Amino acid sequence: MDTSIPNSQQLWFLPLGGTGEIGMNMNLYGHSHSWLMVDCGATFQSPLDPKDDDNPRAKTYSVVAPDASFIEARKDSLCGIVLTHAHEDHIGAVTAIWPSLGCPIYTTPFTAEVLRRKFYQKGMYENLPIVEVAQNTTLDIGPFTVSWLDITHSLPEPQAIKITTALGTIFHTADWKIDRQPVLGKPFNKQLFTDMQKEKVLAMVCDSTNSLKPGYSVSEKACEKGLGNIISRARGRVVVSCFASNVARLITLVTIANQSGRYAALFGRSLENMVSVARRCGYWPDELKLTHRRHIGYLPAHEIMIIATGSQGEPRAALNKLANNEHRDCDLEEGDCVIFSSIVIPGNEKPIEKIISRLKERKIAVFQSEHTSEIIHASGHPNQGDLSDMYEYVQPKVAIPVHGEQKHMIANAEVAKLQGVQKQLVGKNGDLFMLKPSVAIKRKFVSTGRIALEK
């Protein structure tokens, strides 16, 4: 008998990626001889040994994923992959890893469309395993009853997942924050989460990204004013760099452009792809007009807004080319401005700094969210206030912080403790979190690792 597969008296959580690190999430839930995978993400420019994460001299690979060999060896017991949302750290490894698993993939329409295009890029068009589920749906997958719950984050259709089994319920928050004015999609609905109290949730597996930050996460709506203020003062070209998947931010920017007499153009393939997915899924307002990038060079400077990829300093992205005056569709000049409607993801400081100093040398103004009093970026993750409220709404018996480094997960556990959650389990990839018959951690249950998907 394979004792690494749970029996009908056991309910387990086993993270293979994203617990003890930020990026490449891969989670397994186990019960009654079956596994369910939640998310299958990738990370970028990373070393293969987690010990090298802070070592600037370690060899890095452009796309890295969790080693899934544990579940590949037991694929007959894997009844499905559930995807919570379309960020790369949650879906980026699917096309590489799914062929060795072969199970159905369940997700909502926007995430499904992003994923289908990833399969197409790999030349896979037929018999795609994707099962589209509507938001707020419940589905039986093997011994798991899986409910998709609308939550708020920083792209269309973010979903939290409730997993109900004969032994109890687990609430997997995935990435979230409390946003009462998300610009796109419905506002945060507290009721969905307080309703769970009657089920006496066994464990809440929760995003820790911003758990070191006090107070509440800023609403997406707050960016409208800050971006509007800076853009209305600009006299030359405006370039804004942001994360391509943040469709709400793109809508805000193009609205500001349309209202202030600027033509907005997208510079960068991932932006074009995301807007095209948003259009197909009905998220792009028909009245918002975009101008083709080829036409931008013919317009007067004060009529131009460029939305560009490359906010993390990516060398081949549009922003770096604009900074180096190497973009074939537009030359920037003294008096133009560049707005980083984004954060600096740790590890990317150097390439971003390089772009900024090049822009400043050319007398182009730079606005970064970290150094500007205006709100020009809103994170998609929960601060301590959001976390505390969610623990109060759900009242789980056990808190399991994930999606963070050790320090983030410890801070998240501390919030849970203050909110009266009985037990907090802080572990890392490969640790087995046993929830039934009793609550305990088995450290290093599975040996985990990283694999390079691209050099």
Cβ proximity to Zn ion, 310 vs 382, nearer residue: 382
Cβ proximity to Zn ion, 129 vs 380, nearer residue: 380
Tokens 């009266």 identify what position?
Answer: 420
Total of chain residues touching Zn ion, rule CB under 5 A: 3
Cβ proximity to Zn ion, 175 vs 405, nearer residue: 175
Q: Please state the closest distance from residue 84 (CB atom) to Zn ion, in A.
A: 8
Q: What's the start-to-end Cα distance of the chain, in Å?
A: 39
Q: Please state the closest distance from residue 380 (CB atom) to Zn ion, in A.
A: 6
* 381 belongs to the binding site for Zn ion (CB under 5 A): no
Cβ proximity to Zn ion, 164 vs 210, nearer residue: 210
Residue closest to 4 by CA, chosen among 357, 449, 454, 444 = 444
- Binders of Zn ion among residues 224 to 283 (CB under 5 A) are none
Q: Please state the closest distance from residue 334 (CB atom) to Zn ion, in A.
A: 37
Q: Please state the closest distance from residue 399 (CB atom) to Zn ion, in A.
A: 18
- The interface mask with Zn ion, positions 49-88, x = CB under 5 A, is --------------------------------------x-
Rounded CA-CA distance 237/335 in Å is: 8
Q: Sheet containing 159-165: which strands, arranged edge to edge?
A: 138-141, 144-150, 159-165, 168-174, 203-207, 398-402, 423-424
Q: Please state the closest distance from residue 15 (CB atom) to Zn ion, in A.
A: 13
Q: Please state the closest distance from residue 111 (CB atom) to Zn ion, in A.
A: 11
Cβ proximity to Zn ion, 89 vs 431, nearer residue: 89
Rounded CA-CA distance 180/54 in Å is: 36
Residue 354, token pair as written in the block: 């390089």
Farthest-apart Cα atoms in the chain, separation = 73
* 89 belongs to the binding site for Zn ion (CB under 5 A): yes
Q: Please state the closest distance from residue 430 (CB atom) to Zn ion, in A.
A: 19
Rounded CA-CA distance 106/112 in Å is: 8
Do 175 and 209 form a contact (C-beta atoms < 8 A)? Answer: yes
- The interface mask with Zn ion, positions 137-176, x = CB under 5 A, is --------------------------------------x-
- Binders of Zn ion among residues 316 to 355 (CB under 5 A) are none
Rounded CA-CA distance 149/213 in Å is: 25
Q: Please state the closest distance from residue 35 (CB atom) to Zn ion, in A.
A: 21
Cβ proximity to Zn ion, 82 vs 323, nearer residue: 82
- The interface mask with Zn ion, positions 171-210, x = CB under 5 A, is ----x-----------------------------------
Cβ proximity to Zn ion, 160 vs 451, nearer residue: 160
Cβ proximity to Zn ion, 89 vs 113, nearer residue: 89
Residues at the site binding Zn ion, with contacts judged by CB under 5 A: 87, 89, 175
